Amino acid sequence: MVGKRSLLWVGATAWCALFNAVKVAATLQDPVMWILAHHDLKQARIDPIVSPGKVSSHVHSLVGANGVSADTTTARDLEEASNCTTSGILADMSAYWAPTLYSFNGNDTFTPRPLYYVNTYYLMRGNVPITAYPRGLQLLAGNATRTGPGPTTQADNIVSFVCLNYAQGSSQHPTLPPGPCPQGLRTQIVFPSCWNGEDLVSANHSHVVYPLGDNADNGLCPDTHNVRLPTLFYEFVWGVDDQDNTGNSSWVFSNGDAIGYSFHADFIAAWNETILQNAIDECAGNLFNNLESCPPLAETLDRDASEACSATSTEAKSGSIESLPGCNVIWNGPHAGKGLTKGCDPSNVMLKPAGWRSALNSTTTSASTARTISTASAATTTSSMKTLTNASVTGTAASAASHHEISTLPTSTRAAVALLPKAGSKTQSKSSHERGKKTKKNNEQGVHLKSIPKPSEKKKHRSTLINQKKTKNQEKQFEMTSNKKSSKK
């Protein structure tokens, strides 16, 4: 098998080959970007943002700081619990994670797909001043309850999938592709980049939103969230080369989604803010993983330490298992309703078909069943996930608030299987829209996720919008204040 280091560079090369061939939707000056390349770190039922201190309802694959756990909810927590990071940058002890991918086998078992590598992109978009991530900032991307396209064009642009096939040409899809994908399946997601400038966390995750317009990765920030952050973009590349996914029938995420609309991801910022801000202000062009060419990053770069960084996984990373950890049922696709056999208690699952009658002898569901959902996870889970409501933020085309939203299930619409509701659409304020018209055209249009930025054009470095260079005491007070706000809610 090709080594992890080789796979990282092969993946980067393929990314260039695929996206350089696509026409850029807008011309941006000085599109600064770099990539932090990670190897697989750990798989576990932990989610310190959605389920802090508890067992998560489904398995995640995590990279970054090796001490990430259910209890590491702040930057200081991550730094104190970790002794290395997979990012290659010692000044970055952030945590990055997304749901684990499995294959559903013909004998009703599941096999975790190997995670080849992860690329985390830092994109400086919008041709506006960019502020470094404040320490402890929590970001969510995607919608874990999404069951179909929409409700906005922007929502469709947040998540995408690429079947890597260097011989025949790679292709991008809005859902899990049919395959085969001999060089891997790349799951992609873009994060919100507009911050309210005050909160590190919020009960409904409304402290950050996506830019205005149809593009999730570029555009104007609304007046309510006028602090522009780097645009974070994940690529999780899974080994699926030995199988096809005909009719979406083989691959399924750990939450039970076999189509892919609910793919989501999380991030907790634990950067040295001074170093990150200096990199944003002083470096230019498409650096990719050539971090040595950016002095602020080069000074804290240690590739050997990154390659040696390891952690212990609490969930299987190979072999076959009888059910998805947490007993999550497959809730869409041709195998909807399966996954609760061999020991899973049908009353203790996160998602299941409406009207489920027996985990041992029935996979039949009823379209006339009342709309219900079990919010309990596996028997080891100490408590169910709390219901979250969508953020009502004027001027945003889509909000990150719906990321892990739980609500009642609508009547089954396909194969008599109950599906989770779609996220509600958001409206933009007239004032924000009019403000957007006054800006340059290139700022309004943004860049499609399918396109890589054009080579950089030199210009003066941006000034910093907000001075994020806090003293250690100010930083500690900032985290404590934000945690108090979150606990009150």
Average of per-residue pLDDT across 307-312:
96
Considering the domain boundaries, does residue 73 fall inside one? yes
Helices (DSSP H) in 120-218: which residue ranges?
Answer: 153-158
Considering the domain boundaries, does residue 217 fall inside one? yes
- Predicted pLDDT of residue 31: 60
Q: Are 129 and 30 in contact (CB under 8 A)?
A: no
Question: Rounded to whole angstroms, what are the CA distances from 78 to 48, 95, 448?
Answer: 11, 8, 33
Evaluate if residue 248 carries a pLDDT over 60.
no
Domain residues for the domain of 57 are 4-311
Tokens of 357: 């009658």
Q: Are 263 and 160 in contact (CB under 8 A)?
A: no
Task: Give the helix/strand (H/E) hosting 278.
Answer: helix 273-282
- Predicted pLDDT of residue 450: 38
Evaluate if residue 457 carries a pLDDT over 90.
no
Place of tokens 């390659």: 307
Place of tokens 């874990």: 144
Pick 375 or 73 by higher pLDDT: 73
Q: 138-178: per-residue pLDDT in tens?
A: 999 998 878 888 888 998 899 999 999 999 889 899 999 98
Closest CA to 217 of 229, 205, 206: 229
Quickly state the pLDDT bin for 295 (edges 50, 70, 90).
very high
DSSP 88-102: SBTTB--EEEEEPEE
Measured distance CA(127)–CA(125) in Å, rounded: 6
Quickly state the pLDDT bin for 311 (edges 50, 70, 90).
very high
Measured distance CA(452)–CA(217) in Å, rounded: 12
- Predicted pLDDT of residue 235: 99
Measured distance CA(350)–CA(49) in Å, rounded: 17
Evaluate if residue 5 carries a pLDDT over 80.
no
Considering the domain boundaries, does residue 369 fall inside one? no
- Predicted pLDDT of residue 151: 86
Give the CA count within 13 Å in the CB-facing half-sphere of 258. Answer: 28
Closest CA to 409 of 142, 145, 143: 145
Considering the domain boundaries, does residue 344 fall inside one? no
Tokens of 469: 């260079």
> One-letter amino acid identity for 219?
G
Measured distance CA(96)–CA(259) in Å, rounded: 23
Q: Are 474 and 241 in contact (CB under 8 A)?
A: no
Evaluate if residue 454 carries a pLDDT over 50.
no
Least confident of 77-91, 178-192, 261-275: 178-192
Least confident of 103-112, 122-131, 275-284, 460-469: 460-469
Closest CA to 238 of 112, 130, 373, 352: 112
Measured distance CA(160)–CA(187) in Å, rounded: 6
Our count of domains for the chain comes to: 1
pLDDT more than 70, % of the chain: 62
Evaluate if residue 404 carries a pLDDT over 90.
no
Average of per-residue pLDDT across 405-409:
25
Tokens of 34: 């770099």
Average pLDDT, the chain: 72
Closest CA to 139 of 444, 423, 404: 404
Evaluate if residue 87 carries a pLDDT over 50.
yes
DSSP state of 293: G
- Predicted pLDDT of residue 343: 65
Evaluate if residue 106 carries a pLDDT over 60.
yes
> One-letter amino acid identity for 249?
S
Quote the distance between the C-alpha of residue 231 and its chain's center.
Answer: 12
Measured distance CA(43)–CA(101) in Å, rounded: 11
**What's phi and psi for 9, nearest 5 deg?**
-75, -35
Considering the domain boundaries, does residue 236 fall inside one? yes
Considering the domain boundaries, does residue 296 fall inside one? yes
Pick 311 or 396 by higher pLDDT: 311
Average of per-residue pLDDT across 296-309:
98
Closest CA to 258 of 329, 317, 327: 329
Neighbour count for residue 375 (Cβ, 10 Å): 16
Considering the domain boundaries, does residue 381 fall inside one? no
Average of per-residue pLDDT across 190-204:
96
Measured distance CA(360)–CA(283) in Å, rounded: 59
- Predicted pLDDT of residue 444: 29
Measured distance CA(100)–CA(336) in Å, rounded: 18
User: CB neighbours of 361 closer than 8 A, spacing ≥ 6?
Assistant: none
Quickly state the pLDDT bin for 337 (edges 50, 70, 90).
confident
Considering the domain boundaries, does residue 423 fall inside one? no
Q: 466-479: per-residue pLDDT in tens?
A: 333 333 444 455 55
- Predicted pLDDT of residue 10: 46
Question: Rounded to whole angstroms, what are the CA distances from 380 to 109, 216, 327, 417, 431?
Answer: 21, 37, 11, 26, 49
